Amino acid sequence: MVANIVATRRLNGYASSLLARSAWRVGFSLVLFGVLLWAFFRTWVNPLEGVLALATRAFAYYRSMHLTSGVSPIVPFLSMTMGLYLWFWYALHGLALFGPDRPCLPPLSRLGIKVPGAKDELKLSMFSQEKAGKPAELMATPLAWDNVKLMLALFAGFALLVACLVSDVPVRSLGARKYALIYCFWLDFYFSLILVEAWQIWRTWSSTRQLLVFLDRLAMRRTLGALHGFSWGSVWKMSGNVLDVRYKLLSRQLECLNHLHRSLVLFTVPKDSAEREAFAGVGVCRTAVEATQSAGLRFAEWYSKNFNDPKAADLQRFRTFQKQVAETTGVVLTELLIPASRVEKKSLIQVDPADKCDDDRRQGPAPSPNGLIRNAEELVCLTYLGYAQNLLGRIRTIVLGGMYLFVAATIAVSSYPFDPRPLLSGVLLSLFLAFGAVVVFVYADMHRDATLSHVTNTNPGELGSEFWFKLVGYGAAPVLGLITQIFPEWSGFLFSWLQPGLSSLR
């Protein structure tokens, strides 16, 4: 922990007085580590050691060390500890998605539209960072306070329910009563955390879907359907290598900025008065695009010098570019695209029958004949897609973390002769149905979403092959773990395959 703190502070650019700046963090980490270590011995080691008699202690140790015997009391806790470790790993992946260099939405101050006859501007708050972006990021962040409060409430509620229904420890084991009591508290914590993960998946997707629905109500949906280079594979890669995906998006944005700047330079004032009024914000857009290009060049200068340096730090220029491109997106949307959409004559709903499709997909509206509008819509689409892709990547990490928690819980229950097994099997089945229902609903709704279907070149409202592949991939491990719990003989079969490998390590 101390090494990580020092390395993080150094990467953030605090080279001077590094130890002095990190002293309180280092001290807090050491104190916290000591407190947790003391709590572990007080709540785990001392209670279990205290009930072991001198005559039976050696036999209890011997039974515990044989992990594949089926009666080792250590295996359930090893399984749940590994599941919690994997959950933390994916939580850290999700936390990396919300770093200071993350994609941003336009600030609310840049999303004002002048309405004829009205004194105040109309604010498009549904597209802003303050009203749409920040709340979605807060609810998707690992260990968000709302999620922690819900988990504590569920933990206390389940414990109170069991205490009211059962007078003694609800789960019996071959060991001491305190062992079963500690195990019940661990299961309570696990079940509460898995349900909170399901709730976070649903809330994160609800906020993402709301933004996508508002995007589909704009004329930019024609550009979303014309974009290339996006697929379900590229959407889900965000939670893997974060920087690679963001650098790819950044390069596309820089290309689009060059095209848009050139279109703004070559723009000629229309003769029609209505069109001239609609394109009155071209000068403001040009100034904003030039400022964003300058920010992009400053980041490109830093990147060209440090792209191969693993110790390179200071992503401030990347962060500045993300904020600048978000502000420019707001300016282009309100000063150019929305006013220009008022003077368009061609319908975006009707499709010319003369245009034919090579496949069975429903043909979308044709792109705008105006090159300036096409480039402007492309920039706005890339900005909002980058933000949505970030949230979708977070959903993937939540699903994977919850899946590993459930697998760890099933292994912990099936690897030791706890009683009553039918009750534990029923609880695990209910938990699987609750978590699985949320995941299936979110994935199905995601693959049916019109905006994402335009981007990924799939049919809106239909579940393609990617949905079924993802469903099978995420559901195979939990289903296998659940089967081994409901049918214990399968657990012995699986351990018989693993036992030769474990024996070779002795």
DSSP secondary structure string for all residues of 385-402: HHHHHHHHHHHHHHHHHH
How far is Cα 446 from Cα 201, in angstroms, rounded to an integer?
A: 12
Domain presence at residue 474: yes
Residue range of the domain that includes 433: 51-344+366-504
Domain presence at residue 361: no
For 78-106, how does the pLDDT look when each residue is reduced to its tens digit (9 = 90+)? Answer: 999 999 999 999 998 888 888 888 889 99
Domain presence at residue 104: yes
Amino acid identity of residue 337, one-letter, is L
For 443-501, how does the pLDDT look when each residue is reduced to its tens digit (9 = 90+)? Answer: 888 888 888 877 776 777 677 676 777 777 666 667 766 666 665 555 555 555 545 55
How far is Cα 200 from Cα 360, in angstroms, rounded to an integer?
A: 36
- Average pLDDT value for the chain: 81
Confidence (pLDDT) at 11: 64
Whether residue 308 has pLDDT greater than 90? no
For 182-239, how does the pLDDT look when each residue is reduced to its tens digit (9 = 90+)? Answer: 889 999 999 999 999 999 999 999 999 999 999 888 888 888 777 766 655 555 554 4
Residue whose tokens read 């977070």: 394
Domain presence at residue 359: no
- Name residue 123's beta-bridge partners: 112
Residue whose tokens read 């140790």: 61
pTM of the model: 0.84
Domain presence at residue 465: yes
Domain presence at residue 65: yes
User: Could you tell me which residue, 148 or 455, shows the higher pLDDT?
Assistant: 148
Total domains in the fold of the chain: 1
Domain presence at residue 158: yes
Domain presence at residue 370: yes
